[in-house]
Amino acid sequence: MFFPPQGVKIQGPLQPYTSGRVYYISCVVWGSNPPANIKWYRGIKGLSDLVPLSSYNQTVTHSGNVSLSWIKYLPLPSHQRDLLICRGSNQELMGSSTIC
């Protein structure tokens, strides 16, 4: 049986990010069968001009229930007020995604 992602969470420093400093940020997506595909974006949530970000790595736990992805993020002054968005989706189910 196929299941959509049940939840998603971004984990990283809980502070305002400083321009020019590198941050490693992770995204955890759980509950998807098969394991979720994770994509990262930067921008304002809800707008169509989100900028895709390259993920640093993506792994799946041994149980297959949790997918993890990391990015290396270097904020710039032009990124002020932008959000980091992590999206987990199941490729087997059209329209199934969970966004954080």
- Going by pLDDT thresholds of 50, 70 and 90, the confidence category of residue 43 is confident
Quick check: is 88 in a domain? yes
CATH number at residue 48: 2.60.40.10
Q: What is the mean pLDDT of residues 1-6?
A: 90
Q: What is the mean pLDDT of residues 5-15?
A: 91
- Going by pLDDT thresholds of 50, 70 and 90, the confidence category of residue 100 is low
Quick check: is 22 in a domain? yes
Question: 48-68 pLDDT, tens per residue?
Answer: 677 888 766 778 887 778 999
Q: Which residues of 24-62 are buried (b: 16+ CB within 10 A; e: fewer)?
A: ebbbbbbbbbebbbbbbbbbeeeeeebeebeeeebeeee
* Average pLDDT, rounded, for the chain: 85
Number of structural domains (the chain) is 1
Quick check: is 51 in a domain? yes
The domain of 20 spans 7-99
Quick check: is 2 in a domain? no
Quick check: is 69 in a domain? yes
Give residue 26's pLDDT.
94
Give residue 98's pLDDT.
67
